[in-house]
Amino acid sequence: MVDAAIARDGRALVDPRLRAVDADVRVPRTQAEADTDVRYFTAAGYDRVIVAGPRSTAAADEADAVAQRASGLDGAVAAAQR
């Protein structure tokens, strides 16, 4: 999950680097969306959840979800490619 504010590439809604990773990507625009996304990934039993940005990180903290914190978009893309 990458906060919408850091997932954009100019006018594009989603940075091309996020489209290129082999992962389910969520780009929450609000804290409520981030909270919902974290709960969904946790309930679905995803082995790995990567969060970047203050909203997504806060959502993972609130839910006590096991999530890998990434520093910005570059960090999230690098983590997803590992």
Amino acid identity, position 78 = A
User: 11 in helix, strand or coil?
Assistant: coil
Domain enclosing residue 32, as ranges: 4-80
Q: If pLDDT is split at 50, 70 and 90, which confidence band does 12 have?
A: low
Q: How far apart are CA 30 and CA 47, in angstroms?
A: 24
Q: Which two tokens stand for residue 40?
A: 């969904």
pLDDT digits (tens, 9 = 90+) for 13-56: 788 888 888 888 899 999 999 999 999 999 999 989 999 999 99
pLDDT digits (tens, 9 = 90+) for 26-36: 999 999 999 99
Domain count, the chain: 1
Torsion of CA 59, 27, 72, 17, to 10 degrees: 150
Largest CA distance in the chain: 34
Rg over CA atoms, the chain:
11
